[in-house]
Amino acid sequence: MRAPMLTTTAPSSSPRMRPTFWLRQAPRITMLLFLVPIVAGLAGTVLPAFGWLPALGGRELTFAPWLRLAEEPGVRWAIGLTLATGWTATIISVLLVLGLCARWHGRKPGRIGRAVFAPILAAPHAAMAIGVGFLIAPSGWLVRWVSPWLTGWHQPPDLATVQDPYGLALTLGLLVKEVPYLLLMTLTALGQLPVARQLEAAAALGYGRTAAWLKIILPQLYPQIRLPIYAVLAYALSVVDMALILGPSNPPTLSVLALRWFTAPDVRMYFPAAAAALLQLVIVLGSIAVWRTAEKIIARLGRRWIARGRRRSRLEPLAGLAAVLVSGLGLLGAGSLLVLAVWSFTARWRFPHILPSHWSAFAWREQVGTILWPLKTTLGVAVAASALAVVLVLGCLEYEQQRGPAPKSRSLWLLYVPLLVPQIAFLFGVQVLLTVSHLDGSLLAVVWSHLLFVLPYVFLSLADPWRSLDSRYARTALCLGASPGRVFLRIKLPLLLRSVLVAAAVGLAVSIDQYLPTLFAGAGRVVTLTTEAVTLASGGGRRVTGIFALLQALVPLIAYGSALGVSGRAGRRRVLAGVSA
Amino acid sequence: MSRPWLLALGALVLALGLLVPVRARAEPWQQVLRQARGQTVYFDAWAGDQRVNTFIAWVARQVAACCDVTLRQVPLEDTSAAVTQVIAEKAAGDDSDGTVDLIWINGPNFYALKRRGLLYGPFAGQLPNAALLDARDRSNRFDFTVPVDGYESPWRKAQLVFVYDSAYVKHVPHGIRGFPAWARRHPGRFTFPQVQNFLGVAFLEQALYALTPDPSVLQHPVSQALFAQVTAPLWKWFDQLRPYLWRGGREFPVSGPAERQLLEDGEIDLMPSFSPTEAAADVAAGRLPRTVRSYVLRRGTIGNTSFVAIPYNSPHKAGAMVVANFLLSPAAQARAGNIRYLGGPTVLDLKRLSAAERAHFAALPHSPWMPSDPALRRVLPEPHPWWASRLAAAWERRYTP
Amino acid sequence: MSEPLQLDQVSISLPARLLIPALSVRVMPGEVLTLMGPSGSGKSTLLSFLGGTLPGGFRAAGRVWIGRREVSALPAERRQIGILFQDDLLFPHLTVGENLAFGLSTAVRGRAARAARISAALEEAGLAGLAPRDPATLSGGQRSRVALLRLLLAEPRVLLLDEPFNKLDAALREDFRRFVFAHAAAAGVPVLMVTHDVADAAAARGRVLTLGQSADGSARIETADGGLCDAHRTEESPGRVDAVVVVDRRQ
């Protein structure tokens, strides 16, 4: 595993030229938009964690918040719970996705799976959590299917299948959401590798598919999905909305505990809350460091394993199992969305009925009037944030290509900071910054805060296709006398239209999913589908939640659909070209 | 962010922290109405109950029509978010252009803001409709024992009730001491929200009322020693109850609505609620069967009043006052008292209304699924907010693994 | 104990076009059979079929034997048919030595023994000391040699060469050709080579089959000396070659 950390595909050696003024500014503007809120945000968390927050009377630096944190009941359990759920969910997600790809990548069922996972990917975490919660609850859909004829249960059993003290339900919920995400990232990365040719070469040497995949494809793939994996790890360790719905509450995970104290009526709890947020940051960064170390050890052992030359892999049946489990997760996710749809038309649905006994469109009628405003806001913010992100990312990538292969730039790591740093650790500071600049509660602030999370994903999905575009196209055009700007507009952009549109759709979906950033930057005033859904979800109403969750899932889905549709013809042509090559 | 910049921010925050919030001057109501015209009022209100949201949307239409005030509900998951917001603005020195104009508030959240001088007022006395308030009702003047002093204006009343489905259970406990025995007979069929939630802690306070010999200690903060002494019977009682709670008392629903969902799913048979009308409304909407009942404990239950308050830095104070005044109008109160929309007792003194207005209230539909009116008069005052936070903390310390 | 490669009525077609008519041919151990034809004539596709990695969209029929073992029903990795592609396809994440170790048969056990075998192979090929190198640092000629070594270390029972000299410049090409044929002869396995370069065919010094199209557009196969082809014409479509049986002169 020798590939550099970030430059997943080596930048193609484009002809060097002096980028124009605006292009030169692209990386700078991007960095500025990032650095200011993150640094201010972290400062706004680190200082109170050590007792400094004059507005609340904290005027000296002390360790008191940490002592208070240590004294709070359940903190140790909460930390253990956080680590257990985060790590378990990440390890299982990675294993499942790799196992599935080893077995099915490039084959027909794999392509079908991709279509099934799209809506799950688009559905927001909170909505998915509510749906999964209803499926697996003791009074949930799964139990209802077999009750009372099989189980004999006329009343739901008192079993902790959701909000269990060990966070198993939370882990499951995370798997339902993170596996499709990781799968998409992995498939995208696989698209950049000559998988078929190399597997053929390995088969000619007598290697079975799974063995060849693990020994040949995985080591080349891994560096490309390393960051998405870290993002999953960071997310799973610091998730708030899913943990509120599926996780235990006594005590909850550390991030929920921190949020609980941040918003406690007793504002002195703000200090231990900041300490907890900082601890959350330490846990995430520490976990990533541990993961990185484990990677190195596994890579070293892996080389020996490869050199031993065994043709068959004992992991073959396990890869098959992964396919079964991922299908199970897919069904669970699809079932969750379906059951939410059913709930939105439910009047009464008591245990153990498999379907509602009374139906009603009341919830929809009630929402028609109130849904328009959040819907408009959601779309406006999402379109603005993802358009801005696409423009900035294209600017950065084009700058990188025109300037020529850059010395490996560590600063690009910054792009991933918002994905790796727990939101809770810097959003309050961001709120203070926005308040000082009188931007809080404005749409601009919300767009900006979304940009922090949208941009990395847009970058992730656009960088590889852009960098791996055959540089000869551009060179040929330049030889024909086209200016770099013209080459960009007339050659690169049309060639990569599909990638650009998909990246924009990814950005749209990410923006729609944002809960805490909208809440903090919007000062609660900017109401989106997600803030409504989470607020209503906290109210437990599955009917209205169902409506919002469906809309939330639908909007990004339409975006994906139209992205693929618009670029459909170009895309099909390329696929065919790939087959006959 | 550079260091000088940070220092400047710190200095700014410090300087503004020293300023005393401006006190409201008495202004003639006409002038308030004039100022309010065209203002947009951001109303931070807990949004967990869809019917309340719908009611607020109705209020928004009314104030837009009568007074040219645009009312926008800022849906909150927890009212404390608004408190944090105001404090954050204070921290940032945003003393005149805050984002919150009106908060649905009471109890600990009111106490937190009032104590820090982060509320505008006194304004409640200036509202014309304040003259209609029930002056005998102590909970209109003391919010969890904290004097209101005109810093918030009442609009709704709430009372702890218990809800069950008579199709599944025939006998329910009518006193706190009866709960452990009932739960032993119905293991896993009763629970209440986690203590960080106002309803969860209210259930503990209700129990404390019944179990402590002298409930008057609950009206003010007490010493550590006295707290231990007063709460000792509570923990003894809870230790008897806990093993028979839903999930063995190790896990609790996060909020009232989450608990209500458990009742709807049939996971529990009995639950506390802070809305005497919630179950009735659900029955009326067909969400719950007609066998559902709600009742008040024999010796009464804790009740309180919901208020609206205006943060010190709201840029739309006049508009906010107009809304607060409208909430007190007989029209709004009659609508809020109607079980079809919200339901529940009014904060007004019906004797102070005109005969026509009184007729509106008399004509309100009555729901058989609500507790009886005499029962709803058995109201115990809320303890001082100190007790809620102390009880929750003590509970966490004892029962968190 | 090498055994011949036998193709029995192998035909490959696209939905709209017949690429290979029913081809029956036997390749003896140590023999190099050259298959020629213009691009698009389906010769590389035939190798994919033999190797067990025929892409979707093609239809194939017929059976393939190595000695008495039918391999056409086996998955690619169990056929023991090695293919040398025109790209070296050295795995970029492994060193030269690890690439060879990946190919080296597991019959050679133990880290020391395997390492010794690999360095011996490298030395014999004039590549001594390259084991720890990154494949990307090797010259084109070196990479091609390593690719062949890797293939031979897997001890295949049949060797397929898919235009292996195509991407090399003239000087290297000559050199590598000798290298390949020498090693193939040493391995003593049947070799089937696909090329469109006459010089390659000449260097192979074996029989040559040419894939092409008849004037009527149907597929056609000729042998170099023209006399060994026994073409059966179907009744329904006279003029169309239905089957080609290549008769081995040595039989």
Q: What is the pLDDT of residue B42?
A: 94
In a mutational test of the B interface, the residue from A432, A443, A516, A544 whose CB has the highest number of chain B CBs within 10 Å is A432
DSSP B291-322: TEEEE--TT-EEEEEEEEE-BTT-TTHHHHHH
The predicted pLDDT at position A112 comes to: 62
The CATH number that domain B26-157+305-372 falls under is 3.40.190.10
DSSP-assigned beta bridge partners for residue C83: C160
> What angle, 0 to 180 degrees and rounded to 10, lies between the N-to-C axes of helices A21-49 and A362-403?
120
Contact criterion met (CB < 8 Å) for C77 and A202: yes
Q: Which residue of A has its CA nearest to B92?
A: A436
Q: Are residues A564 and A454 in the same domain?
A: yes
**Tokens (6 digits) for A155:** 């009343």
Cβ–Cβ of A206/C78 closer than 8 Å?
yes
- Classified by CATH at the fold level, domain B161-303+380-399 comes out as D-Maltodextrin-Binding Protein; domain 2 (3.40.190)
Measured between beta carbons, the chain A residues lying within 8 angstroms of B17 are 54-55
| Chain C interface mutation, best of A1, A205, A304, highest count of C Cβ atoms under 10 Å | A205
CB contact under 8 A, A54 and B401: no
- pLDDT bucket at C121, cuts 50 / 70 / 90: very high
- Strands B152-159 and B161-165, by their bridges, are unpaired
Q: What is the pLDDT, as a whole number, of residue B191?
A: 96
**Are the Cβ atoms of A579 and C150 closer than 8 angstroms?**
no
Q: Per-residue pLDDT tens for C200-251?
A: 888 888 888 887 655 454 455 655 444 334 444 334 333 444 445 554 433 3
**What is the rounded CA–CA span in Å between residue B210 and residue C76?**
80
For B243-248, the CB contacts below 8 A with 24+ separation are: B244/B180, B244/B183, B244/B184, B244/B186, B244/B187, B244/B188, B244/B190, B245/B183, B245/B188, B245/B190, B245/B191, B246/A158, B246/B188, B246/B189, B246/B190, B246/B191, B247/A158, B247/A160, B247/A163, B247/B188, B247/B191, B248/A158, B248/B188
In a domain, A499, yes or no: yes
Predicted local distance difference test score (pLDDT) of residue B387:
94
Going across the sheet that includes B161-165, the strands are B270-273, B161-165, B292-295
A205 neighbourhood in chain C, CB within 8 Å:
82, 102-103, 150-151, 154
* Residue at which a domain ends, from A315, A341, A360: A360
Give me the interface pTM, i.e. the ipTM: 0.80
Which of A244, A524, A540 minimises the CB distance to B260?
A540
- B356 — contact with chain A (CB < 8 Å)? no
A306/C94 touch (CB, cutoff 8 Å), yes or no: yes
pLDDT for C97: 93
CATH number of domain containing A76: 1.10.3720.10
Mean pLDDT of chain C: 81
Nearest to A261, CA basis, from B47, B310, B392:
B392
Closest-CA residue in chain C for A215? C102
pLDDT at B220: 93
Residues 129-168 of B with CB under 8 A from A: 168
List, for residues C10-28, the tens digit of each pLDDT value: 888 888 778 887 788 889 9
Measure the CA–CA gap between A343 and C210, rounded to whole angstroms.
Answer: 68
**What pLDDT score was predicted for residue A556?**
77
Q: What is the pLDDT of residue C15?
A: 83
Most A CBs within 10 Å, among B105, B251, B387, to test the A interface: B251
Is residue A3 within 8 angstroms of chain C, CB to CB? Answer: yes
Considering only CA atoms, give the Rg of chain C: 19
Specify the pLDDT at position A574: 40
SS3 category, B144: coil
Contact present, B152 and B308 (Cβ < 8 Å): yes
pLDDT for the residue numbered A540: 57
Verify whether the Cβ–Cβ distance C53 to A201 is below 8 Å.
no
Calculate how close chain B gets to A40, using CA atoms only, in Å: 6
Chain A residues whose CB is inside 8 A of the B91 CB are 53-56, 432, 435
Q: Distance, in angstroms, between C232 CA and closest chain A CA?
A: 31
Residue C37 has pLDDT above 70, yes or no: yes
CB-based touch A/B (3+ pairs, under 8 A): yes
Contact between B248 and A264 using a beta-carbon 8 Å cutoff: no
Of B79, B127, B120, the C-alpha closest to B103 is B79
> Rounded to an integer, what distance in angstroms lies between the CA atom of residue B373 and that of residue A68?
47
- On the question of a cis peptide bond just before residue A352, with omega within 30 degrees of 0, the verdict is yes
Residues in chain B closer than 8 A to A277 (CB atoms): none
Please check whether residues A329 and A419 belong to one and the same domain. no
Looking at residue A550, what is its pLDDT? 81
Mutate to test the interface with B, among A31, A263, A354 (most CBs of B within 10 A): A263
Q: Which domain holds residue A569?
A: 371-575
- Mutate: best of A192, A200, A576, partner C, most C CBs <10 A: A200
A540 with A564, same domain: the answer is yes
> How far lies A306's CA from each of A100, A272, C9, C101, C152, in Å?
20, 49, 39, 8, 17
What are the residue ranges spanned by the domains of chain B? 26-157+305-372, 161-303+380-399
Report the C-alpha dihedral over residues C118, C121, C122, C123, rounded to 10 degrees.
Answer: 120
Query: Does B252 sit within 8 Å of A250, measured CB to CB?
Result: yes
Using a CB-CB distance cutoff of 8 angstroms, which residues of chain A are in contact with residue B82? Answer: 524
Residue A177, both tokens: 């959401």
B288 Cα to chain A: minimum distance (Å): 7
Contacts of B144 (CB under 8 A, 6+ apart): B106, B107, B108, B110, B111, B304, B382, B383, B384, B385, B388
- When CB atoms are compared, the residue of C57, C111, C150 closest to A205 is C150
Are B and C close enough to touch, i.e. 3+ CB pairs under 8 angstroms? no
Running along chain B, 401 residues long, what does each successive block of 10 average in pLDDT?
42 38 59 94 87 91 95 86 84 84 94 93 93 90 93 94 92 96 95 92 95 92 95 97 94 88 91 89 84 92 94 96 97 91 89 92 85 84 92 92 79
Domain total of chain A: 2
Kindly give the parts of chain A with pLDDT less than 70.
1-19, 106-116, 404-413, 432, 537-540, 567-581
Tell if the CB–CB gap between A203 and C114 is shorter than 8 Å: no
Q: Which of A307, A335, A360 is the last residue of a domain?
A: A360
More confident residue, A5 or C97: C97
Query: A360, A379, A414: which is the final residue of a domain?
Result: A360
Alpha carbon distance B48, B197 (integer Å): 13
What residues contact A146, with CB distance under 8 A and at least 6 apart? none
Cβ(A140)–Cβ(B266) below 8 Å: no
